[in-house]
C-alpha cells in the first residue's frame, strides 16, 4: 500500500490524482524506499544544478510534463540516481530537500527563495549572453566599434549609460544587427546619467524607452512633470 497521507506541497495542496500517480511511479522506481511517497521524497535533494535550455523543449523526468525550458537536477542520496525535473515539481514537493552552497538543508522559506533566485540567475545569464552576442555581431560589422570597452563597462556595471545605449541602438539599426531592447539595461543611478536621459531628443528617447525599467520610466515622467 502506497502512503500518500503526508504528501504536502509548497504551494498548491490540491494536486490532481493523475499528476501524483505519474510522479509516484517515477519517484519510487528510482528510490530506495519502495512504498512511502514522503519517505522516498526525503531521499532526494537539489543542490543548485539548474539549467536553461533556452527553448521549451524538455520533459520533466518526474511528472512527464513537456515543454520545459528550465530543468533542476535532483539527486538521490541512496541510489545515486539523478532526475531532471521542471519548475512545477521542484517547487511543489517540499519533501525534496533544497540545499545551500555548503550542502546544508534549507528550511522551507529559504528553499523557496533559493529556487526563485536560481531561476532569476538562469534568465539573467541568458539575457547577458544575448547582449554579448549582439555586441559581437556589431563588432564584426563595424571595424570602428570598440567592443572591448563596451564589454568591460557591461561587466563592471551590468547596464549601459543612456548615451552608450543610444549609440548602440543607432549602430545596431545602421548595420541591421538583431537585438531585443528587453535584454538591455540602462543605468541612471548617477545624476550625470539621469541628465543624459533627460537631454535626449524625443526620437532617441522613444528608441531607448523599452530598455528602461518601469520604475526608471516612472521616474523620468515624474521629473518631466516637475520641470514643465
Residues in contact with Zn ion by the rule CB under 5 A: 60, 62-63, 65, 86, 89
State the nearest-atom distance from the C-beta of 58 to Zn ion, in Å: 10
Beta bridge partners of 73: 84
Q: Which is nearer to Zn ion, 89 or 208 (CB)?
A: 89
- DSSP SS3 for 14: coil
Q: Which is nearer to Zn ion, 74 or 89 (CB)?
A: 89
State the nearest-atom distance from the C-beta of 123 to Zn ion, in Å: 19
Q: Which is nearer to Zn ion, 9 or 181 (CB)?
A: 9
Q: Which is nearer to Zn ion, 86 or 95 (CB)?
A: 86
C-alpha cell at 107: 528550511
Single out the residue of 162, 168, 209, 164 nearest to residue 187, CA to CA.
162
State the nearest-atom distance from the C-beta of 202 to Zn ion, in Å: 48
Q: Which is nearer to Zn ion, 65 or 171 (CB)?
A: 65
Q: Which is nearer to Zn ion, 60 or 197 (CB)?
A: 60
Phi and psi at residue 90, in whole multiples of 5°?
A: -65, -30
State the nearest-atom distance from the C-beta of 62 to Zn ion, in Å: 5
DSSP, residue by residue, 75-144: EETTT--EEEE-HHHHHHBTTSEEB-TTSPBPPHHHHHHHHHHHHHHHHHHHHHHHHHHHHHHHHHH-TT
Beta bridge partners of 70: 52
State the nearest-atom distance from the C-beta of 48 to Zn ion, in Å: 18
Query: Which residues, in sequence order, are CB contacts of 98 under 8 Å at separation 6+?
Result: 45, 46, 105, 106, 110, 111, 114, 115
State the nearest-atom distance from the C-beta of 70 to Zn ion, in Å: 11
- What span, in angstroms and rounded, lies between the C-alpha atoms of 159 and 173? 20
C-alpha cell at 206: 522613444
C-alpha cell at 45: 535533494
Q: Which is nearer to Zn ion, 72 or 160 (CB)?
A: 72
State the nearest-atom distance from the C-beta of 156 to Zn ion, in Å: 39
Amino acid at each position: 500500500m502506497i502512503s500518500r497521507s503526508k504528501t504536502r506541497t509548497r504551494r498548491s495542496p490540491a494536486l490532481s490524482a493523475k499528476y501524483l500517480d505519474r510522479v509516484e511511479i517515477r519517484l519510487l522506481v528510482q528510490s530506495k524506499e519502495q512504498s512511502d511517497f514522503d519517505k522516498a521524497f526525503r531521499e532526494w535533494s537539489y543542490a543548485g544544478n539548474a539549467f536553461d535550455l533556452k527553448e521549451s523543449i524538455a520533459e520533466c523526468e518526474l511528472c512527464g510534463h513537456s515543454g520545459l525550458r528550465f530543468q533542476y537536477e535532483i539527486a538521490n542520496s541512496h541510489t545515486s540516481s539523478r532526475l531532471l525535473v521542471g519548475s512545477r515539481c521542484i517547487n511543489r514537493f517540499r519533501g525534496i530537500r533544497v540545499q545551500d552552497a555548503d550542502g546544508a538543508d534549507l528550511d522551507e522559506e529559504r528553499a523557496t527563495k533559493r529556487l526563485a533566485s536560481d531561476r532569476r540567475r538562469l534568465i539573467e545569464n541568458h539575457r547577458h549572453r544575448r547582449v554579448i552576442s549582439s555586441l559581437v555581431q556589431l563588432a564584426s560589422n563595424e571595424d570602428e566599434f570598440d567592443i572591448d570597452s563596451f564589454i568591460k563597462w557591461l561587466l563592471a556595471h551590468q547596464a549601459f549609460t543612456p548615451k552608450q545605449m543610444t549609440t548602440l541602438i543607432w549602430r545596431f539599426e545602421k548595420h541591421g544587427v538583431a537585438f531585443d531592447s528587453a535584454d538591455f539595461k540602462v543605468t541612471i543611478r548617477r545624476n550625470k546619467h539621469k541628465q543624459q536621459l533627460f537631454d535626449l531628443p524625443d526620437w532617441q528617447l522613444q528608441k531607448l524607452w523599452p530598455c528602461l525599467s518601469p520604475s526608471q520610466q516612472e521616474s523620468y515622467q515624474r521629473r518631466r512633470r516637475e520641470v514643465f
